[in-house]
Chain A
Amino acid sequence: MITPQKLPDATVTPAQLEPGHSLWGDAWRRLRQNRLAVAGSALLLVLGLLCAFGPLFSQSYQEQNLELGAVPPSAAHWLGTDTLGRDLFTRILYGGRISIMVGLVATFVALAIGVVYGAVAGFFGGKIDALMMRIVDIMYALPFTIFVILLMVFFGRNIVLLFVAIGAVEWLTMARIVRGQILSIKQMEFIEAARALGFGRRRIIFRHMLPNILGPIIVYTTLTIPAVMLLEAFLSFLGLGVQPPMSSWGVLIKDGAEKMEEFWWLLVFPGTVFSLTLFSLNFLGDGLRDALDVRTAQD
C-alpha cells in the first residue's frame, strides 16, 4: 500500500532528508536492482519491438511455399517452416502482435471495470459496498471460463467479443484490490480536506483517491496481462479464439501440437516464446510489487 509521504517536520534534520527520495524514485531504484525484473522488461521490450517492426522487413505471414513444405530450422528459415512452407519466425512475430494486443486491450477492459466498480464500492461503503462486494463474491464462485466458451461458440469468434469476454472475467480481483485500498485511505486527512473544499464525489475519487493507490493498480495490471494472454491462448487452443488467417501464439501452439510428431519445431518454438513472455511479465509484476509495496521495502 502506498501512503502519501509525510511532510517533513521540524525534528527531521536536513541530513535525513538528503538525497531527496521520492516515492517513485525509490521504487525505480529498487526495480533496477531486481535482476529478474530487469531481464524480463528487456526481453519484453525486444519482443515488443520485434513484433511491431520485424514483419516490415520479412516476408508476409501468409506467403506459402508448398513445394518447400515443412523444413526444420535452417539459415534461410531460422525457426523452420510450417506444412504450407510459411516461415515460422515471421508467423510467431505476427501471432505475437495479436496475442499482445489481446493481452493489452482485454486487460484495459478489466482495469476500467474493476477500478470503477471497486472505487465506487469502497467510496460509498455501507450497504452499497456490502451488496456490490457480495455480487463479486458470488461471481468469483462461478465457472466463468465456461461462459466465455459458450459466448465464443454461439456469437461467432469475433475478436472484439474476445476482448470484452476476457475483460469481463478478469475484473473481479482488480475490483477487490481497489476497494480495499480506497477503504484504507478514505479516512485520511487529505480526503477530508478535499471534502471540506467542497469537491464533488467524482473529483475526489478520480483526482484525489485513485492517484494515491496507483501502485497496487499498476502491479496488479502487470500481473493481469499474462493471465489474459493465457486465457486467450486457452480459447485459441480449443479453436475458439483468434480465427485464420489471423493467428496468435495460442493458434500456433494448437497447430504445433497437432503436427508435433513429425515437425517438433512447430510446437517447441511458439511454446517457448509464449512461456518466455509469461515469465517476463510475471517477473516484472513481482518486481514492481516488491518495488512499490512499502511493507516489504528494504529501506
Chain B
Amino acid sequence: MFRFVLRRLLEMIPVLWVIVTATFFMIRFVPGGPFTAEKAVTPEVLRNLEAHYGLDRPLSRQYLDYLGNLLHGNLGPSFKYANRTVNEIIADKLPVSLELGLLSLAVALSLGLTLGILAAIRRNTGIDYLCSSVSMTGICVPTFVLGPLLVLVFAIHLGWVNASGWYGPADRVLPCLTLGCVYAAYIARLTRGGMLEVLGQDFIRTARAKGASETRVVLRHALRGGLLPVVSFLGPAIAGILTGSFVIETIFQIPGLGREFVNSAFNRDYTLVLGTVILYAALIVVLNLVVDVVQVWLNPKLKFE
C-alpha cells in the first residue's frame, strides 16, 4: 500500500505540471490583459505596471520564474488587488469554500445513505418509491433552480433565514442544503443499488441464520460492501461539489474562493486564476487518491496495483 500511495503521488507531479503549463499559456494567448480594464491607462503607466509585475520579460522567462516561485509555494502577487498576494487571497477565501463544501458533503452523505439504506431494506414498498422519487427530483432539479426556489420560499416568503450572506450558523442552512441535495440524490441511488446486490448474497443469509439481528446484518455485514459504489462516486462528487460551489456562492453571495475564481477569470487576473486552478486541481487529485485507498480498504478483492 505504501508503494501504491508513493507511486500515485509521484504520478501527480507530471499531471499538475501539465495543468500549470496548459493554464499558464492558455491565459497568455488570449486577447486582453489585466490592465486593459475600464479606465484606460497611459502607455507610460502601462509600461511601469508591466515592468513591476515582470510582464515585460520574455514569456519563457516568466514561465520559468513562475514555476520557480511555485516550487517555493509562492503564487505571486495579484494583478487586480493591489498589494495583495494570491497566497493571501486564497488563505482568506478558501476556508469559507471548504466549510461550504464539507458541510454540503455531510448533508449529501447523511441524507443519501439514510435514504438509500431505507429504500434497499424496504424494497418495493412505499418508502422505496418515496426514496426513488426524492432522489430523482434531486438529480433533475439543478442547484441553480433549487437554490433560488429555497430562497424564495424560506427567506423571502417565510422569512426564516437570510436570503444571502455568510455570518451566522443560520446562513449555512440553505447553501449547504442546496449543494448537498444533488449529491445526496446520487448517493441514495448508488447505496440502494449496492445494498440490494450485497443483501442477496450468501454471507448475508449465513449471518441471518446465525441469528444476527436485522440491524446488525444491515449495518455491520451489508453496509461495508454496499458502500463500494458510493465510495467510487465520492471522487466525482467532491470535484462536483467544489465546482458547484461557484454557482452556490454566486446565488447566496458567499465570500468564498469559487466566486473569486469566476471573477478573477473575468478580470483576467492571471496569477489569481492560475493559483486557484492549481489549488483546485491539487485538491481533486489528492482527494481522488484518498478515495482510491478507502476503496481498496473496504473491498479486499481489489488490490493496490
Could you list which residues of chain A lie within 8 angstroms of chain B, going by C-beta atoms?
Answer: 138, 140-143, 145-146, 149-151, 153-155, 226, 230, 233-234, 237-238, 250, 253-254, 256-257, 260-261, 264, 267-268, 271, 274-275, 278-279, 282-283
User: Distance in Å from the Cβ of B272 to the closest Cβ of chain A?
Assistant: 12
User: Is the pair A154, B139 in contact by a Cβ cutoff of 8 Å?
Assistant: no
> How far, in angstroms, from A155 to B142 measured CA to CA in the complex?
26
User: Distance in Å from the Cβ of B151 to the closest Cβ of chain A?
Assistant: 8
User: Distance in Å from the Cβ of A280 to the closest Cβ of chain B?
Assistant: 9
Other than A143-B284, A257-B251, A261-B156, give 10 A-B pairs with Cβ distance below 8 A: A138-B11, A141-B235, A145-B243, A149-B246, A150-B23, A154-B27, A260-B156, A271-B141, A271-B145, A278-B139
Q: A143 — which chain B residues lie within 8 A by C-beta? A: 239, 242-243, 277, 280-281, 284
Q: Does B140 contact A (CB under 8 A)?
A: yes
Q: What is the predominant secondary structure among interface residues of chain A facing chain B? A: helix
Q: A267 — which chain B residues lie within 8 A by C-beta? A: 145, 148-149, 152
Give the 6 A-B residue pairs with the shortest CB-CB distance, closest first. Answer: A154-B30, A257-B148, A271-B145, A278-B140, A145-B243, A153-B265
Q: A274 — which chain B residues lie within 8 A by C-beta? A: 142, 145
Closest A-chain residue to B29, C-beta based? A154
User: Is the pair B277, A256 in contact by a Cβ cutoff of 8 Å?
Assistant: no
From B144, B148, B242, give the contact of A234 (CB < 8 A): B144
Closest B-chain residue to A149, C-beta based? B265
User: Is the pair A254, B145 in contact by a Cβ cutoff of 8 Å?
Assistant: no
Q: Does B15 contact A (CB under 8 A)?
A: yes
User: Is the pair B277, A150 in contact by a Cβ cutoff of 8 Å?
Assistant: yes
Closest A-chain residue to B236, C-beta based? A140
> How far, in angstroms, from A263 to B280 measured CA to CA in the complex?
37
> How far, in angstroms, from A146 to B273 measured CA to CA in the complex?
10
User: Is the pair A254, B144 in contact by a Cβ cutoff of 8 Å?
Assistant: yes
| Chain A-chain B contacts (Cβ-Cβ < 8 Å), number | 103
Q: B280 — which chain A residues lie within 8 A by C-beta? A: 143, 146
> How far, in angstroms, from A243 to B23 measured CA to CA in the complex?
25
User: Distance in Å from the Cβ of A271 to the closest Cβ of chain B?
Assistant: 4
Q: B156 — which chain A residues lie within 8 A by C-beta? A: 260-261
User: Is the pair A154, B26 in contact by a Cβ cutoff of 8 Å?
Assistant: yes
Contact with A along B112-137 (1 / 0, CB 8 A): 00000000000000000000000010
Q: Does B183 contact A (CB under 8 A)?
A: no
User: Is the pair A234, B265 in contact by a Cβ cutoff of 8 Å?
Assistant: no
> How far, in angstroms, from A213 to B156 measured CA to CA in the complex?
51
Contacts of B265-303 to chain A: CB distance below 8 A = 265-266, 273, 277, 280-281, 284-285, 288
> How far, in angstroms, from A282 to B236 measured CA to CA in the complex?
19
User: Distance in Å from the Cβ of A120 to the closest Cβ of chain B?
Assistant: 22
User: Is the pair A149, B140 in contact by a Cβ cutoff of 8 Å?
Assistant: no
Q: A250 — which chain B residues lie within 8 A by C-beta? A: 144
User: Is the pair B136, A279 in contact by a Cβ cutoff of 8 Å?
Assistant: yes
> How far, in angstroms, from A40 to B86 measured CA to CA in the complex?
48
> How far, in angstroms, from A283 to B266 measured CA to CA in the complex?
37
> How far, in angstroms, from A275 to B144 measured CA to CA in the complex?
11
5 A-B pairs within 8 Å (CB atoms) are namely A154-B26, A253-B145, A260-B148, A261-B156, A274-B142
Q: A149 — which chain B residues lie within 8 A by C-beta? A: 246, 261-262, 265
Closest B-chain residue to A254, C-beta based? B144
Q: Does B204 contact A (CB under 8 A)?
A: no
User: Distance in Å from the Cβ of A119 to the closest Cβ of chain B?
Assistant: 24
User: Is the pair A234, B247 in contact by a Cβ cutoff of 8 Å?
Assistant: yes
Q: Does B102 contact A (CB under 8 A)?
A: no
User: Is the pair B15, A282 in contact by a Cβ cutoff of 8 Å?
Assistant: no
Q: B262 — which chain A residues lie within 8 A by C-beta? A: 149, 238
> How far, in angstroms, from A256 to B148 measured CA to CA in the complex?
9
Closest A-chain residue to B144, C-beta based? A237
Q: Does B62 contact A (CB under 8 A)?
A: no
User: Distance in Å from the Cβ of B16 to the closest Cβ of chain A?
Assistant: 10
Closest A-chain residue to B153, C-beta based? A264
Q: Does B5 contact A (CB under 8 A)?
A: no
Closest A-chain residue to B282, C-beta based? A143
Q: B139 — which chain A residues lie within 8 A by C-beta? A: 278, 282
Q: B140 — which chain A residues lie within 8 A by C-beta? A: 226, 275, 278-279, 282
Closest A-chain residue to B182, C-beta based? A230
Closest B-chain residue to A155, C-beta based? B30
Given known pairs A143-B281, A260-B152, A275-B141, the reply for A153 and B266 (CB within 8 Å) is yes
> How far, in angstroms, from A204 to B206 measured CA to CA in the complex?
48
Q: Does B250 contact A (CB under 8 A)?
A: yes
User: Is the pair B235, A234 in contact by a Cβ cutoff of 8 Å?
Assistant: no
> How far, in angstroms, from A253 to B27 measured CA to CA in the complex?
30
Q: B284 — which chain A residues lie within 8 A by C-beta? A: 141-143
Q: A279 — which chain B residues lie within 8 A by C-beta? A: 136, 140
> How far, in angstroms, from A282 to B141 measured CA to CA in the complex?
12
> How far, in angstroms, from A254 to B142 measured CA to CA in the complex?
12
User: Distance in Å from the Cβ of B244 to the closest Cβ of chain A?
Assistant: 8
Q: Does B94 contact A (CB under 8 A)?
A: no
Closest B-chain residue to A274, C-beta based? B145
User: Is the pair B144, A150 in contact by a Cβ cutoff of 8 Å?
Assistant: no
> How far, in angstroms, from A230 to B243 measured CA to CA in the complex?
13
User: Is the pair A237, B30 in contact by a Cβ cutoff of 8 Å?
Assistant: no
